[in-house]
C-alpha cells in the first residue's frame, strides 16, 4: 500500500480539526446561552453581591465569545487550501477594501495612501480570501500605531508576479519578534490570538504567491506580497475557467 499523499493527509487533518472545533462551538453555544440567562436574572442588581455576580458573568461571557472567535479563526487557518481563483485587477480589489476600511482608519487617525498603476497586469485572486488577507495586514498596522500614523499601499510588476507592499510608520519589530510572527498563536498584543498573520500568509501561499516581512525597531514595517500574474497560472487552477492572457 502506498503512503498517504501529503495533500490527502492535510485534508484529513483539516476535516478532523473542523469536526473538533464544531463540537467545541456547540458546547460554547450552550454555555453562552446559560450565561445570557444568568445575566438577565441579574440585570438590575440591588446588592453589592449581585453586582459582583453580574460582573463575573459578563467576564465569562467575554471569554466565551473570545473562544468562539479563536475557534472561527482556527477553522479559517485549517481550511485554507483550495480557492476560487479568477483574474482580477488588483487596484479594484484594493479600492474596495480601502473603502471598507476607511471609517476605521479615520477613527484611528491613520492616513491611507495607495499607489497602484492602472496598467498593472491582472492577478488570479479569490477576491474574498484576498480581501481577508489584506484586512488582516491593515488591522495589524492599525494595532501597531495606537496614536495614528500612515499606511501606504503600492504595487509594481516584477517578472511573472505583481509585487504588492503594505507599509506602515509604526514602531517596527525587533529581530526576535520577526522570527516568530508566522507561528500560529504567537502574539505580542493583549487579547490577540496570534492567528492573523499565519492566516494571511497561508492565504497568499494558496494563491501561488508568497508573503515576506521587513521591519526594524523604530523604522516601521513592510509586508510584501508576490502575487502571480494571471497568465502564468495553469487554467485548471482557476475555478474551471481558463485565465485570459494579460491585456486580452
Specify whether 110 is located in the same domain as 164: yes
Q: Identify the band that residue 24 occupies on the pLDDT scale cut at 50, 70 and 90.
A: confident
Specify whether 59 is located in the same domain as 108: no
- CB hemisphere CA count around 45 (13 angstroms): 14
Report which listed range, 42-51, 102-111, 177-186, is most confident: 102-111
What pLDDT does 162 receive? 96
Specify whether 47 is located in the same domain as 100: no
161 phi, psi to nearest 5 deg: -125, 165
In the predicted model, what is the mean pLDDT of residues 25-42?
87
Set of cell numbers at residue 232: 502564468
User: Distance between CA 163 and CA 140 in Å, rounded?
Assistant: 20
Find out whether 110 and 142 touch, Cβ atoms under 8 Å: yes
Residue 1 lies in a domain: no
Convert the pLDDT of each residue in 112-134 to its tens digit: 999 999 999 999 999 988 998 99
Specify whether 122 is located in the same domain as 34: no
User: Distance between CA 202 and CA 208 in Å, rounded?
Assistant: 10
Specify whether 137 is located in the same domain as 39: no
- Last residue of one domain, picked from the residues 36, 63, 79: 79
Full-model pTM: 0.68
What pLDDT does 105 receive? 94
Amino acid at each position: 500500500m502506498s503512503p498517504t499523499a501529503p495533500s490527502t493527509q492535510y485534508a484529513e487533518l483539516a476535516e478532523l480539526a473542523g469536526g473538533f472545533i464544531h463540537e467545541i462551538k456547540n458546547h460554547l453555544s450552550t454555555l453562552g446561552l446559560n450565561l445570557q440567562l444568568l445575566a438577565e436574572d441579574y440585570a438590575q442588581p440591588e446588592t453589592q453581591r449581585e453586582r459582583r455576580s453580574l460582573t463575573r458573568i459578563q467576564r465569562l461571557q467575554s471569554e466565551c465569545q473570545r473562544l468562539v472567535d479563536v475557534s472561527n479563526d482556527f477553522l479559517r487557518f485549517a481550511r485554507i487550501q483550495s480557492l476560487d481563483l479568477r483574474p482580477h485587477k488588483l487596484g479594484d480589489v484594493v479600492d474596495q477594501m480601502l473603502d471598507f476600511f476607511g471609517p476605521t482608519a479615520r477613527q484611528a487617525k491613520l492616513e491611507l495612501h495607495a499607489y497602484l498603476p492602472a496598467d498593472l497586469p491582472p492577478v488570479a485572486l479569490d477576491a474574498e480570501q484576498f480581501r481577508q488577507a489584506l484586512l488582516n495586514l491593515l488591522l495589524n498596522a492599525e494595532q501597531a500605531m495606537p496614536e495614528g500614523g500612515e499606511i501606504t499601499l503600492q504595487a509594481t510588476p516584477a517578472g511573472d508576479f505583481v509585487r504588492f507592499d503594505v507599509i506602515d510608520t509604526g514602531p517596527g519589530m525587533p529581530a526576535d519578534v520577526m522570527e516568530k510572527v508566522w507561528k500560529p498563536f504567537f502574539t505580542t498584543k493583549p487579547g490577540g490570538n496570534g492567528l492573523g498573520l499565519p492566516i494571511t500568509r497561508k492565504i497568499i501561499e494558496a494563491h501561488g504567491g508568497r508573503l515576506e516581512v521587513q521591519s526594524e525597531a523604530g523604522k516601521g514595517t513592510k509586508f510584501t506580497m508576490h502575487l502571480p500574474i494571471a497568465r502564468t497560472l495553469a487554467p485548471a487552477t482557476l475555478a474551471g475557467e481558463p485565465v485570459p492572457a494579460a491585456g486580452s
